[in-house]
Amino acid sequence: MRRFWRATINSCNGLIFAIRSEQAIREELVALILAVPAAWLIGVTAMRAVELVATVVLVLVVELLNTAIEKLADRLTMDLDPKIKHVKDMGSAAVGVTLIVAGIFWLFAIAERLGFI
């Protein structure tokens, strides 16, 4: 139980640090707050609403991982290193791909709600 408590504290500290230091995390949290009620309005079923919220949560998770990669890379060196730039770009690409997937889910759900599907 003690290990679980410490892991929870570490997770909260990491999230708080990310919120304070990264605009993208703050924006995605706002998107998540807006997505919860919107998903229940747009989703045809409860499962669809959960899927819509889950896609936004997934974007936040990938953004947190990307932020961790960037912070670690910056800690290693602030010099312009092409290999570190590639690593950072791949993290950014992961966020971009996840945003596209989330967008497709939401567009599908909207089309479903409007009766196009």
Active site residues: 63
Q: Are residues 59 and 109 in contact, defined by beta-carbon separation less than 8 angstroms? A: no
Q: Which residue has the tokens 């961790």?
A: 68
Measured CA to CA in angstroms, residue 6 lies from 1, 64, 84 at distances of 9, 19, 32
Closest by CA to 57, choosing from 88, 93, 15, is 15
